[in-house]
Structure 1
Amino acid sequence: MADIVIAGAGVAGAAAALTAARAGARVLLLGPVADAAGRDKPGESLSASARAVLEAIGCADLLAAGPHRENRVTYSAWGLPALAQRHAAGHPEGNGFVLDRPAFEAALADAVTAAGIDWRREMALAAHATGGGWAVTLASGEEVQGAFLIDATGRSATLARHHARRFRADRLVACWAMLARSDVEVEPTAASLIEAVPTGWWYASLLPDERLSLAFFSDPDLLPRGISRDPALWRQMADETQFIRRWLESATFSIDAPPRLASAATTWLGPAGHMDPDTGLGWAAAGDAACGLDPLSSHGLATALWTGQRAALAGLAAVGGDPAPLAAYAQTLAGAVTDFLLQRSRIYGLERRWPDAPFWARRQRF
């Protein structure tokens, strides 16, 4: 039986597995490879705070070795009809990164393999307590055993949602796409851009391969009907912006397909971990299973790494009979969510140009 069984092999799951393995624990990682190399997915911003976690899990060179770029400057039109410029040089932690997300996750997967971690590339469907631990049912129907359970299955929180309450602050949705240039001779600006509009806000960032990651965030009821099928609607929405439109036009980025949609809601689990005082069985959630934050924070990937590491450390202590680190982990995460909600309220409150627009009116009530 494994000391730690981890459901979900994404960023949080990999961080948890590497942390536990480096401590000498018997680790069982469950889940398919996060994404096949080359498959696009949203979420390419990595804040500078992630460096410490990457070093702690033995991946200090991962960023330097990969095809990533430092995010030195971000522009925003938020609260005013003009661009403000923020340089990373003024940030105490230094530059963050714009990732080649598939390459980043592939490198984490390689690190897991190199560490000799037992990795079953099957999805975990359910878990139940047994006399001496957890029995986790795989998609194949097989059961595997572990003394401590970590749920890193993403926003679905496939296993942990049965042991804690799921909270939701909003229903934010991301419409996103990766755009190529029609004229490759044009040199695009290596930057990120945020622009608020009456129905939500836009985000664009130049990727390391010089494509543009473009996303629009709004509430489901405010999106045009058919947006996920009609590229003309997507182009029309972008044309109604001021600064996003200029960037697309000047760098010849073309919208040739409809966007994909994904949940970007702020959600969290309470508590994010628990150890039964009678049975001694413990579990923890990590990554988006523990808390999925509004993308405005740009902390999603760093949070996934941190929660993966901390959940594993708490699990190791719980297996050794000490429940205190697990309780502290759950308490720290709850406090972090509270702080984030206050910060989110403050940032959304800075935009007061459209107080009667539903998107902004909903967020002024926070």
Structure 2
Amino acid sequence: MRERTQVLIAGGGPAGATAATLLAQQGIDVVLLERERFPRYHIGESLLPSLLPVLDIMGARETVEQHGFVRKTGAFYGWGGQEWALRFDDPARPAGHSFQVVRSQFDHLLLQHARHQGADVREESQLRRIALSDGRATTASWSAGDGRDGEIDFTHLIDATGRAGMLGARQLRARRVHDVFRNVAAWGYWRGAAALPDAPEGAIGVFSLPDHGWLWAIPLHDGTLSVGLVTDKRSFNQAKDNHGSIDAVYHEALARCPLLARMLAGARQVSALKVESDYSYTSDAFCGPGYYLAGDAACFLDPLLSTGVHLAMYSGLLSAASIAGNLHGEVDEADARRFYQTTYQNAYERLLVLVSAFYRIHDGRDAYFRQAQALSHRDQQGLRLHESFLNIITGEEDLHDAQQDRLNSLYEKLRTPLTGHRAQGLGGHGTSQMLPLPATPDHAAAGLYLCLTPYATLRPIP
């Protein structure tokens, strides 16, 4: 069986579903292949307010709002010897709330929405291989759970296959693992936990441990609390050897966090532990002739600041607009790819710097943990670290004349409070200050900017 589509999307998670929705709404022919049958389990339950404008653009905001997810109005940090609450209704934030979601349900809602908007969504259909002709992605082979298989030709491909990275990681071998954030996460679900005191409604709790590692606590609308431990691999393996099991490591860590221990005092664990290694990586290029890498297929950070779904949907929007602009004849394909590469890479790099900086103010941890979470010289190669820090601090884009400072001095700059923000955490810095949508000429990249009405596309600077 051989067929053709304008756009093939591999993967039905938030990145793929976002792109499929935005393309199908424009009448563009879209086929989405998803390996599994939704709903399916996934971690990454705490969402950022920056997602709400993307849901608005997709027309999916009302569906998500009405589902009943916990309304997340902020975050609570017990970090580096400080305790503070971050409320999303502070000035200049993109929305006053976000959501704590059961990812199986959230992802299913987005995939159904893409289908309802006209995308040809095929579950239990797995991408097998991408054929390249003179370096350009042109054809995909696939197989279905019912034994069918076939090939599909396309004009553009969006690889949203997650950390598996079908094209970028497996075929092109373009993935580069960072030295930082080689951490291990172990998590489970609890019922009957007490509410987090003195925290915004529905807040995530993030707690640094006194020696190394940190814990999360996320309230979910099914009445459970997601509780996870993150630490570096060496410390995790040493603790497992000392305590005899992963469960013992997990429970010992919970006991060392007094606030979380009090929350769980009358609760019971209702699931087995899940474990995953969190490797931070990026790709040599986020796009190429005929293809775009979106979400975790392009890069992965760390769960600390809940950036995974943000980057996925952000890149889904950017890739859809880049492809639409080219298919509508509004921008050249090479220019569209430069826009995507520049914009998505900048977003990833700024978050990489922020997460590393957050780890560096983890007071009291041992020397190895401090070193393990810091950007190495190899990590810094190819990154515009000075520019990234100053963009976070000031929001300015035109920094071509900036001089390179020492990395440690930049971390100190990042701790300086923003005007009008309390001097807590990272000086009041957050994703709303560093990831504005490039939707005006002032925020253009590679000479192009996002136009969101009547549909998501690209426009050249007038």
TM-score (norm 2): 0.70
Corresponding residue SS for 2:268:
coil
In the alignment, does 2:307 pair up with 1:299? yes
**Cα 1:70–1:256, aligned 2, differ >3 Å: closer, same or farther?**
closer
Map of 2:205 onto structure 1: 193
Q: Within 5 Å, give how 1:213-232 maps onto structure 2.
A: 213-223=226-236, 224-225=239-240, 231-232=247-248
| Match among 222, 245, 263 for residue 247 of structure 1 | 263
Q: Which residue does 2:27 correspond to in 1? A: 24
Q: Residue 311 of structure 1 aligns with which residue?
A: 319
Equivalent pair of 1:228/1:258 in contact (CA under 8 Å): no
TM superposition shift of 1:72? 2.0
Deviation at 1:156, TM superposition (A): 1.5
1:136 counterpart = 2:147: no
Report the counterpart of residue 279 of structure 1 in structure 2. none
The answer on whether the counterparts of 2:76 and 2:86 sit within 8 Å (CA) in structure 1 is: yes
Match of 1:5 in 2: 8
Contact 1:164 1:271 in 2 (8 A): no
Alpha-carbon displacement from aligned partner over 1:320-366 (angstroms, at most 9, x marks no partner): 5532122111111222222222222221121131242x222322455
CA distance in 2, matches of 1:295, 1:311: 23
| SS across alignment from 2:59 | coil
TM-aligned CA distance change 1:237 to 1:346, over 3 Å:
closer
Matched residue of 1:203: which SS? strand
| Counterpart for residue 51 of structure 1 | 52
Q: Is the 8 A contact 1:271 1:330 kept in 2?
A: yes
User: For each residue in 1:86-131, what CA deviation from the matched residue of structure 2 results, as whole angstroms up to 9, or x when unmatched?
Assistant: 2222252222221232221121122122123212221112101258
Secondary structure, aligned partner of 2:221: coil
Q: Which residue of 2 aligns with 1:266?
A: 280
Distance change in 2, residues 1:289/1:217 (3 Å): same
Quote the residue 1:362 is aligned against. Answer: 372
Identity of aligned residues (%): 24
Report if the CA contact (8 A) 1:173-1:263 is conserved. Answer: yes
The one of 157, 163, 169 aligned to 2:172: 163
What is aligned with 1:347? 358
CA pair 22-228 structure 1, distance change in 2 beyond 3 A = farther
Matched position secondary structure for 1:313? helix
TM-score (norm 1): 0.87
Aligned to 1:112: 114
Work out the CA distance in 2 between the residues paired with 1:34 and 1:323.
35
Separation in structure 1 between the aligned mates of residue 302 and residue 59 of structure 2, nearest angstrom:
29
Compared CA separation, residues 188 and 55, structure 1 to 2 (3 A): same
Which digits, 9 at most, give the CA deviation of each residue in 1:135-178, with x for residues without a partner? Answer: 11213542222111110000121112233621222322221112
Query: Matched residues in 2 for 1:340 and 1:311: separation?
Result: 19
Cα distance in 2 for residues equivalent to 1:72 and 1:253: 24
Match of 1:179 among 190, 196, 208: 190
Q: Residue 210 in 1 paired to residue 223 in 2? A: yes
Structure 1 pair 17/258, CA: closer, same or farther in 2 (3 Å)?
same
Q: Which moved more, 1:159-168 or 1:100-109?
A: 159-168
Structure 2: runs of 5 or more not aligned: 377-462
Matches for 1:44-83 after TM superposition, within 5 Å: 44-80=45-81, 82-83=82-83
Kindly provide the CA deviation profile for residues 202-234 of structure 1, in whole angstroms up to 9, marking residues without a partner as x.
Answer: 111111222101111112222133899653443
Give me the CA root mean square deviation: 2.5
Instruction: Show structure 1 runs of 5+ residues with no match.
Output: 276-281
Match of 1:278 in 2: none
1:152 aligned to which of 160, 170, 181: 160
- For residue 15 of structure 1, the aligned residue among 6, 10, 18 is 18
The 2-side partners of 1:18 and 1:107 are apart by 12
Equivalent residue pairs, number: 351
